[in-house]
Structure 1
Amino acid sequence: MIKVLIVEDDPMVSEFNRRYLEQVGGFELIAIAPSVADALHILDHQEIDLILLDIFMPGMNGFDLLAQIRKLGQGVDVIVVSAACDSQSIKKALRYGAVDYLIKPFEFERFKTALSAYREWVSMTKDQEKLSQAELDIRMLHPNPLTVPSELPKGLTRNTLKTVWENIQETKTSSFSTEEMAKRVGISRVSMRKYLSFLTDIGVIEMEVIYGSIGRPIYQHRCLKPESDLIKRYF
């Protein structure tokens, strides 16, 4: 479970955030802090993985907390939840290392998207000592699922994609070729190549080129994350 601290001085907003958090699996609310001083006290005594942080509060503000966290080198991530929508505030939060920025008021779906993306990243980095370029690109180029294509490319269908993914999951971490997977699923190699290309683009599988002593190179694929939540949005 990802341990969460909500830092918010408005009781109504903190309650909304708490209720939203309860609806997203994999997170445990440790405490709600109405001020930066309270948040620092909690961080000194509790293990926290993620802070949902408001910016403007009486006394020290959210930027002060971000600065203190970075100064101390604490391994805690921050998602800013603020009404501040000016570019300077957003840039400042990102420079301090905020992993996402939610502008109040926001819908539950945007909240869920931010938390789901963070959970996916935590799971990926926890289970593997090393990351491939494809895995890293999902975080660096697509910080959250909103920037990943929301619809399947033209020519792909949900049912076939689901069948392809189920067969890929069965391979676990074993490599497979386009031809091998096409035979398993029962579609042409040309069609399978399109599905594998899409799955590579969204970072749930990777492709590697194996060069033999003679002949053409062999393109092999490997599943990066058999239990990825990212693929489910396309079913």
Structure 2
Amino acid sequence: MIKVMIVEDDPMVAEFNKCYLELVEGFTLQALVHSADEAFSVLDQTEIDLIMLDIFMPGMNGLDFLINLRQQGKSADVIVISAACDNNHIKKALQFGAVDYIIKPFQFERLNSALLGYKGLVGLMEQDVLNQVELDQCILYKEQSVAAKLPKGVDRNTLNVIWEKIQELGQSPFSTEEIANQIGVSRVSMRKYLEFLKQIGSLKLELIYGTVGRPIYKYRCIHTMNNFIHRYL
């Protein structure tokens, strides 16, 4: 298992990152901290393979943390997850060894790709002799064939049936009740599947205004040819 530490000062974002991490097979969260000082304390006591690092934090910011990390000779890899999108921050993060840079806000698909790519690279580095094709696939983050972990209560076969029905609907909006009736499952169960599909970026939730009555929320497929969903099927 790849041991991960999340360094994020916003408690809500930290929790989102934690939940996203738990969806990806092969990673385990060792620590969740809210400052650079806390992170260095953890590193002094615990073996960490990968750090998910924010830049804008009170006290020492993420870039200074990354610089200090390298100056101390610590080998933990870093994926930066930050709202900083200017070339100065990005260039410095990459110069000091960040293996990836994800700009907030982001979809789960982007983080999942980064983690799967990193896991592939870790596995490749365990080999004595490296193959160029395999190395290119990991470094360039090509499509991974690894089946992603589903959250508790989401069944792969049921998800496949629901996704096929959604593809039939194309770009037409639908409510939880409407598709639950078509599939033959309860609204409570269906809501869990639809929220998962929304979380990974396959669906979006819209407020639909009718001619009479209150507006209602309906889901809409973002892209019926979204290949990312097939990692879960």
1:11 corresponds in structure 2 to: 11
Cα contact 2:120–2:138 (8 A) shared by 1: no
The residue identity in structure 1 corresponding to 2:133 is A
Over residues 50-99 of structure 1, what are the superposed CA-to-partner deviations in whole Å (9 max), with x where a residue is unaligned? 00000010110101111111112211100000000001110010001100
1:114 corresponds in structure 2 to: 114
The count of aligned residue pairs is 147
Across the aligned residues of Structure 1 and Structure 2, the Cα RMSD in angstroms comes to 1.8
Structure 1 segments (4+ residues) deviating >6 Å: none
1: distance between equivalents of 2:20 and 2:120?
18
TM-score by length of 2: 0.60
Instruction: Find the residue that maps to 1:85 and give its secondary structure.
Output: coil
1:99 corresponds in structure 2 to: 99
The residue identity in structure 1 corresponding to 2:73 is G
2: distance between equivalents of 1:53 and 1:62?
6
Instruction: Find the residue that maps to 2:56 and give its secondary structure.
Output: coil
1:145 corresponds in structure 2 to: 142
Over residues 94-117 of structure 1, what are the superposed CA-to-partner deviations in whole Å (9 max), with x where a residue is unaligned? 001100011000001111111111
1:35 corresponds in structure 2 to: 35
Name the % identity. 56
Cα contact 2:53–2:80 (8 A) shared by 1: yes
Instruction: Find the residue that maps to 1:59 and give its secondary structure.
Output: coil
1: distance between equivalents of 2:36 and 2:58?
9
Any unmatched runs of 5+ in structure 2?
A: 145-229
Alignment of 1:32-181 (within 5 A): 32-126=32-126, 128-140=127-139, 142=140, 144-145=141-142
TM-score by length of 1: 0.60
Q: What is the CA distance between 1:136 and its match in structure 2?
A: 2.7
2: distance between equivalents of 1:22 and 1:10?
18
1: distance between equivalents of 2:3 and 2:52?
11
2: distance between equivalents of 1:106 and 1:34?
20
Any unmatched runs of 5+ in structure 1?
A: 148-231
2: distance between equivalents of 1:18 and 1:139?
23
Q: Which of the pair has more CA radius of gyration? A: 1
Instruction: Find the residue that maps to 2:47 and give its secondary structure.
Output: coil
Instruction: Find the residue that maps to 1:145 and give its secondary structure.
Output: coil
Instruction: Find the residue that maps to 1:6 and give its secondary structure.
Output: strand
Q: What is the CA distance between 1:134 and its match in structure 2?
A: 2.3
The residue identity in structure 2 corresponding to 1:123 is G
Instruction: Find the residue that maps to 2:37 and give its secondary structure.
Output: helix
Instruction: Find the residue that maps to 1:60 and give its secondary structure.
Output: coil
Q: What is the CA distance between 1:137 and its match in structure 2?
A: 2.6
Q: What is the CA distance between 1:146 and its match in structure 2?
A: 6.4
